[in-house]
Amino acid sequence: MIEEVLVIGGTHGNEMVGVFLADYLKKNPYKAESFTVRSLIANEEAARLKKRYIDFDLNRAVRAEEARGSHEERVVERLQKQIHKPEKTLIIDLHTTTANMGVTYILTRSDPLTKELIFRAQRGQAGEFVLETKELDDKTHFVNTMADHGFMIEVGPVPQNYLCTKSIEKTWYTLLRIFDLLDKKNQGLLPSLKGNFNYFKELSFLDFPRDAAGEIQALLHPNLIGRDYQLIKEDEPVFYQLPDEPIYEKAASGYYATFINEAAYYEKNMAMMLCERRVLSEEF
């Protein structure tokens, strides 16, 4: 049974939807019957400076050797102190993306409760997707893994540092839906649900063609922009160069792409994430 839901915004300081909603929840506490809701802004310093992070991506910093000595290592320590009963806490970490990913629930763990909540929340919702990361649980360094239960909500397309009303609304109503589901789950009021659940599994990332100095040499093909979660066919160009030269990319064909042209990923050498579509047959 979950006793506390921790809604985290500002894991990335330039994603204002989460920062806004964490602040909103603090001022307008949500009253559930079976759990408490607390919210906090994770990387306050980065949010104040309107930057994704100060020294190191906070959402890759949990248990990460490379984050040693960084501002974000101290943020992780501060957050950890906020989680009093990890086994009874669910973290919902709010993000936005510049890619056209609608509402994406990102599953980074094998925890059955997290899985159930995500798949129940997404069920029957147009424009909502479940995406499972390549590695799970302790192999990852995501903020939501600081408690025993948790996931991310990624909403887009939203420009960085943009207070997007529609996305705030979308994220808010998604949160309310999850709160309601969890309240019923805690009280044993959810009817069992059996079926096939579609989701996307992360396989790899594809980078832009780059020159020896690492500069991007070709753009994403205009036909691909906004086509997250759609199949890339063999005869489809993936990149292109001005004025009109299509570039085909064998490595991408046959996969479903997402995080297409995510602005935060240029520095990570990623033009898109390549996924496979999978089906989970389950009874919750």
* Interaction site with Zn ion (CB under 5 A): 12, 15, 95
DSSP 58: G
Q: Which is nearer to Zn ion, 121 or 155 (CB)?
A: 155
- Asked whether the beta carbons of 97 and 262 are under 8 A apart, the reply is yes
Q: How far is it, in rounded angstroms, from Cα 111 to Cα 96? A: 24
For residue 255, the minimal CB distance to Zn ion (Å) is 23
Q: Which is nearer to Zn ion, 143 or 224 (CB)?
A: 143
How open is the CA angle 214-234-126, to the nearest 5 degrees?
90
Q: Which is nearer to Zn ion, 42 or 121 (CB)?
A: 42
Q: How far is it, in rounded angstroms, from Cα 264 to Cα 256? A: 20
Q: How far is it, in rounded angstroms, from Cα 21 to Cα 164? A: 11
Q: Which is nearer to Zn ion, 9 or 70 (CB)?
A: 9
For residue 52, the minimal CB distance to Zn ion (Å) is 7
Q: Residue 156: how many CB atoms within 10 A of its CB?
A: 24
For residue 277, the minimal CB distance to Zn ion (Å) is 24
For residue 14, the minimal CB distance to Zn ion (Å) is 8
For residue 152, the minimal CB distance to Zn ion (Å) is 8
Q: Which is nearer to Zn ion, 12 or 227 (CB)?
A: 12
The one-letter amino acid at 176: L
- Asked whether the beta carbons of 269 and 207 are under 8 A apart, the reply is yes
